[in-house]
Structure formats: structure tokens, C-alpha cells
Amino acid sequence: MPMGKEHLFCRHYLLLFSFLIIMCLLQSGFGSYQDEQSPVNDYHHPQYQPHDHKGLVMVMRRFSRAHPPQPSPRIVNVDRYGAKANGRDDSQAFKKAWRAACLASNGAVLVVPRNKIYHLKPLIFSGPCKSTLTFKIYGTIKAWVKQSEYRERRHWLRFDNVHNLRVTGGGIINGNGRKWWLNSCKINKKLVCLIKNAVTFYECSNLIVSNIWFQNSQKMHISFQSCLYVKALNLVVTAPENSPNTDGIHVTGTRNICLIRTGIELGDDCISIVSGSKNVRATGITCGPGHGISIGSLGADNSEAYVSNVEVTNSKLTGTTNGVRIKTWQQGGSGFAKNIIFHNIEMKNVTNPIIIDQNYCDQDDPCPQQASAVKVSNVLYRNIKGTSASKVAINFDCSETVPCQGILLQDVAIASKHEEPTKASCANVILDTRGDVFPYCFNN
């Protein structure tokens, strides 16, 4: 890449992700409606001094007439709608409570009481609702164990077309996934792959998910699908290291999403970002064990895929099978993964710390080589430090027909956890470096 273009390249990234940071800060506003203070308490006017009580009272009266106090949100407790938390199915009680909260005109708080365990069969929490809604999970929601009750449904809990929703409370959502893992097609190839995601948010907007512990999902723990303006923060996501396909946070077809201060330990990708996702920012993520933070896979079955404007920053990966990864299928496809930044990332004992794999093939039979591929371009790796559990710490395995372009390594240092030094493998990539970079691609 010529010198002038690289300056423009970096400048482009700085401008792009300045926008993303501002976006995340602005998003925090829509989730604070439960905690807002009265505007009267913050009102100041230069004409009135503290001793001018008559003038101040007049202003407050005018203000209160223009902005009357808002009614308090309706409190909806699932116990009042028949939930027993006695080991039996509480699905109908939750369904009735959701309907009551969703129909509230002045907002509602749906409460799941603490120190109780509620068992639920597959449920869809449908919107749109009449006003803002807060789902306060203080206790535990646990998945119904009998697989026969799931029939053909792909989801356990699904929030469908809900706007101005906040899910919080400090409680637990437990997918009860151990029976599903034993019958996974990843474990037994003869079985049909049953897709049962634990919690799915579909076509939701102005959404905040915070302070929840997601445990032992049947498959993916949290999926944001076709959502707009999302903030997920202060989450804990856990499953055993050997649990198959238990992605932590899955982002698909979603725009303007921030993932903040979240700890993830499980058996698959900590975060997976796939087609249709744009303006994605993940910061303060701790990942491991797991398969790392992935963009992809993209282009399966020769499909189109588009991902752009992704930033992963201020995060730590420990003992994962991959670090920061971009993966596209070897069997073809089209589209792009572009404008991506990985920076300020610490890695400890990570296999494949930095990897672009355009020859991804997650099947027993060899994938046929195709002339087309999802194009990977404009990717910046900056200030990435740590140790590798594998000999190859940087691996760019790009397509011969659609090579990776605009890849920049800046201030990268990944040493071996063993005595033997790490190395880089770089094929079909247009690459440049800035600052100190180790290991270095000599075969590029």
C-alpha cells in the first residue's frame, strides 16, 4: 500500500470509529428512562438568583404546567399471574404477565422475584408494546427439560418486534442445555442438528440487556437478529468448555450495537458477528475458554454476506482456540467483510491469536474450491500483545482469487508460551506494518 494511501486509511478508521464511540454514548440515553430525575430539579435561569423565591416559584409553576409529572410505570409481578416456581411449568403465567405489561400505556416493569426458580417452555414475547417496558429478572428462569415440548421451534425464549425494552435485574437465565449437548450433531454425527438458541431478540430496537447471568444454553446463549440500536453490558455468559455450539453473543443482521464489559466462558465463539451486521463495537470483553471473537463464518453455500464497521477493543482472551478471527467459507460466496479494527487486546496462551481464514470448511467432506469468495479488506490490528499456544501466531490464509487487501499490523507482539519463537504465515494478502511487529510475515 503506498504511503499516502496508508495515511488516508488510518485517518478513515479514526473518523469511522469516533462515530461509533459517540453512538454508544448516545445510546445510553434511551435506557435511562427509569432513572431520570425531574427536569425541575436541574432547571437554572440566569434571570433568577437563589434568593429570588417569587421568580423561581413562577418559573417552576410554568414549567410544571408545560411538563406535567409522568405517571409511574405499572408493576407486573409474574407471581400475581399464577407463577408458582415449584418445578412445574410457569409458561402461561409469564405469557399473561407479559401481555399485561405490554399493554400498559404509561410503561411497565415486569418483575421476576428473587430467590425463586421458574421453569419455562418455549415462549415468544411479542411486541410492539404500547410503551417502554423493563423486564426485571431478580430470580432464575430455567428451560423446560423435556425436548418433546420444543417441537420444531428454533428458539427457547424470543423477544419479537419489541421496542424500548430493557432486560436487567441481576438474575439468571439458564438454558438447561446438558441434555441438548449429549444429543448434538457435533457430538454424534448421525443425529439431526436441532437448533435451539436460548434467548433471541428479533427485530427489536432501542434495546438494553444488562446485569444478567446467562448459563448453559442449548445452543447460542444470546442472539441479536435484525435489531437496531442495541446496548448489551455487564453480562456474564458461561457454559462448560466442551459444550458444543454454545456461542456467547451472536450478532446477525443487526446495526448500531455496543457490547460492553462482559465476561464469557464456554465451548464456542465468545462473540460471533455474521452477515448483515454493521456498526458493531465490543469493548471490555473477557473471553476464555472458548473459540475467541469471530467475524463469520461468511459465505456458506455460496451465499452473499456483508459485514462492516466493526471494532473490538480493550479486551482480554485467555486459553481460547482462536484469538481475533475472520472466517469465510472455502466453497465460495460473495460480498465483503471490511472496515474492521482490533486494538488494545491482551492474549494469554491463545491458539491462533490473529487469523484470517478464507478457506474455512466446517464439515467432514472436503469443500470444493470456488473462484468466488467474500472479500476481506481494510482490517487494522493495533496494540495486540500476549502469548501464543501455537507456533503460528499470525495466520493470513486468504483466497487466491480474492486476496485480502488493506491489512495493517501496528505495534503487535505475540510471543510463544514455549521456548521456540512464534512465526507468521501469510498467503495472498496485501499487508503493511507500522511500529514494532512480531512475528513478521517474511513470505508475504
Domain count, the chain: 1
**Residue 346 placed within a domain:** yes
**Residue 418 placed within a domain:** yes
- Of the chain, the percentage scoring pLDDT greater than 70 comes to 80
pLDDT in tens, 41-55: 332 333 333 344 455
Q: Of 51, 291, 343, 418, which residue is the catalytic one?
A: 291
**Residue 34 placed within a domain:** no
DSSP states along 94-153: HHHHHHHHHT-TT-EEEEE-TT-EEEE-SEEEE---SS-EEEEE-SEEEE-S-GGGGTT-
**Residue 13 placed within a domain:** no
Domain range for 119: 74-438
- Which CATH number fits the domain that encloses residue 224? 2.160.20.10
Please report which confidence band the pLDDT of residue 65 belongs to, taking 50, 70 and 90 as the band edges: low
β-strands 236-238, 392-397: how paired?
unpaired
The CA-atom distances, in angstroms, between 103 and each of 109, 122, 167, 441 are 12, 22, 17, 60
Residue, of 28 and 304, whose pLDDT is higher: 304
- The cell numbers describing 146, all together, are 423435556
The whole-model pTM stands at 0.85
- The cell numbers describing 197, all together, are 438458541
Residue, of 21 and 195, whose pLDDT is higher: 195
pLDDT computed for residue 253 by the predictor: 98
**Residue 327 placed within a domain:** yes
**Residue 350 placed within a domain:** yes
pLDDT in tens, 7-17: 444 455 445 55
Give the CA dihedral 91, 95, 96, 98, nearest 10 degrees.
Answer: 130
**Residue 414 placed within a domain:** yes
285: which strand partners? 262
Give the CA dihedral 351, 261, 213, 203, nearest 10 degrees.
Answer: -100
**Residue 157 placed within a domain:** yes
Poorest-confidence range of 101-105, 153-157, 302-306? 153-157
44 is catalytic: no
